[in-house]
């Protein structure tokens, strides 16, 4: 039986990856940061602890705690999904974003180098590292990085440090450059879930409108359950490489609103959406979408759930939760 150690609980990706690995027969250890009032709703949604997930307390910014969990879990595979991942907050929280998304990666790599060099390491990169590079075309693994946010800059540090440890110390260390990926357990601060949860609340009479930022922003949106499979496939290769994971299709926030409101039976979505500069980023990133041809060729990976089905499912799940009286969607 293989053992995996995953940071970033109780986030969307960590939970879906744990679910996937448990189905594969892994022993899965999940790292959760100590909170005053931890929210384990995502873990409960996927019944992870009942299925065998073992939670451990640590923080990627505290290298001593990472030493402890690696010594305890003795992982074959280490997936670093911990991050301050809300791009909009990274200007206001630039220091903490850098501590987690940049220095936290170095801490994980350094621990493995010292006490567990045979452990395979996966670093969660992001499409935000590209910024506005090749804005009118598909981003590929060869597209230059030009991040425009503190989040993207910090993640780029983690990307290059992972590559450096791979080349300098002969470690199995790979980067997944994942474009936007969503699910019914996506955080409410992200625009997809803000919209789907908003639709459910409008239908229930709790809200009259949803306030958004740039409706013309375009993203390449896929489903988290598809993308964690790609993370696992990267770790099963003989030679570590870096891969883009994306659908190759882009949709605007307007498209998102149209699909979400129609899933709730509302045709005139414009009547329920208002815009505000409050939700516009200081340095706006207009369009991101990518080619995952390398992942398709090398990993034999392809996304299974399309954009429309994903958004419709998210709306219906939020409606169900509200109808059942579950707060915050759960």
pLDDT in tens, 264-279: 999 999 999 999 877 6
pLDDT for position 134: 72
Say which of 7, 97, 122, 128 is annotated catalytic: 128
CB 19 within 8 A of CB 46: yes
Active-site residue flag, 327? no
Active-site residue flag, 128? yes
Q: Which residues of the chain does CATH 3.90.25.10 include?
A: 187-219+250-287+306-329
Active-site residue flag, 45? no
Q: Which CATH superfamily is domain 187-219+250-287+306-329 in?
A: UDP-galactose 4-epimerase, domain 1 (3.90.25.10)
pLDDT for position 7: 97
Task: Tell me the average confidence (pLDDT) per consecutive run of 10 residues in the chain, 330 residues long.
Answer: 96 97 98 74 95 96 97 98 73 75 96 98 95 81 91 94 98 97 93 97 95 93 98 98 97 98 97 85 73 97 97 97 72
pLDDT for position 98: 81
CA angle at 290 for the pair 134 and 264, rounded to the nearest 5°:
120
Per-residue pLDDT of 189-199, as tens digits, reads 899 999 999 99
Say which of 7, 126, 196, 247 is annotated catalytic: 126
The span from the CA of 268 to the CA of 258, in Å, is 8
CB 73 within 8 A of CB 130: no
pLDDT for position 198: 97
**Nearest Cα residue to 78 out of 48, 98, 58:** 58
Q: Which residues of the chain does CATH 3.40.50.720 include?
A: 3-181+221-245
> Which residues are CB-neighbours of 182 under 8 A, at least 6 positions away?
12, 190, 192, 193, 221, 222, 223, 224, 310, 311, 314
**If one looks up domain 3-181+221-245 in CATH, what number appears?**
3.40.50.720
Write the burial class of residue 168 (CB in 10 Å: 0-12 exposed, 13-18 middle, 19+ buried): exposed
| Token pair of 199 as six digits | 């639709």
Say which of 151, 162, 182, 218 is annotated catalytic: 151
Q: What are phi and psi for residue 35, nearest 5 degrees?
A: -115, 160
| Token pair of 278 as six digits | 């409050």
pTM, full prediction: 0.94
pLDDT for position 141: 96
Compute the chain's Rg from CA coordinates.
19
């Amino acid at each position: 039986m293989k053992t995996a150690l995953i940071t970033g609980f109780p986030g969307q990706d960590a939970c879906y990856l744990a679910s996937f690995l448990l189905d594969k027969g892994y022993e899965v250890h999940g790292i959760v940061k100590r909170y005053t009032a931890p929210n384990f709703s995502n873990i409960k949604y996927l019944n992870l602890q009942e299925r065998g997930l073992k939670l451990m307390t640590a923080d990627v910014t505290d290298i001593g705690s990472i030493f402890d969990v690696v010594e305890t879990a003795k992982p074959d595979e280490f997936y670093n999904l911990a991050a301050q991942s809300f791009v909009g907050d990274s200007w206001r929280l630039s220091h903490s974003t850098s501590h987690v998304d940049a220095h936290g990666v170095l801490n994980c790599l350094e621990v493995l180098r010292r006490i567990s060099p045979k452990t395979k390491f996966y670093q969660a990169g992001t499409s935000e590292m590209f910024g506005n590079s090749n804005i009118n075309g598909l981003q590929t693994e060869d597209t230059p990085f030009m991040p425009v946010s503190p989040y993207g800059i910090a993640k780029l540090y983690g990307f290059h440090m992972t590559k450096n440890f791979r080349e300098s110390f002969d470690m199995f260390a790979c980067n997944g450059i994942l474009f936007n990926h969503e699910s019914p357990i996506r955080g409410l601060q992200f625009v997809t879930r803000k919209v789907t949860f908003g639709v459910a609340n409008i239908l229930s009479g709790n809200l009259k409108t949803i306030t958004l930022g740039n409706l013309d922003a375009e993203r390449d949106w896929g489903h988290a359950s598809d993308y964690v499979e790609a993370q696992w496939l990267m770790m099963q290769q003989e030679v570590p490489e870096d891969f883009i994971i994306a659908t190759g299709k882009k949709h605007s926030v307007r498209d998102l609103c149209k699909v979400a409101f129609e899933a709730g039976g509302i045709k005139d979505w414009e009547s329920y959406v208002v815009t505000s500069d409050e939700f516009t980023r200081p340095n706006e990133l207009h369009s991101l979408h990518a080619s995952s041809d390398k992942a398709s060729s090398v990993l034999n990976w392809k996304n299974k759930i399309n954009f429309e089905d994903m958004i419709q499912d998210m709306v219906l799940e939020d409606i169900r939760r509200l109808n059942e009286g579950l707060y915050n969607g759960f």
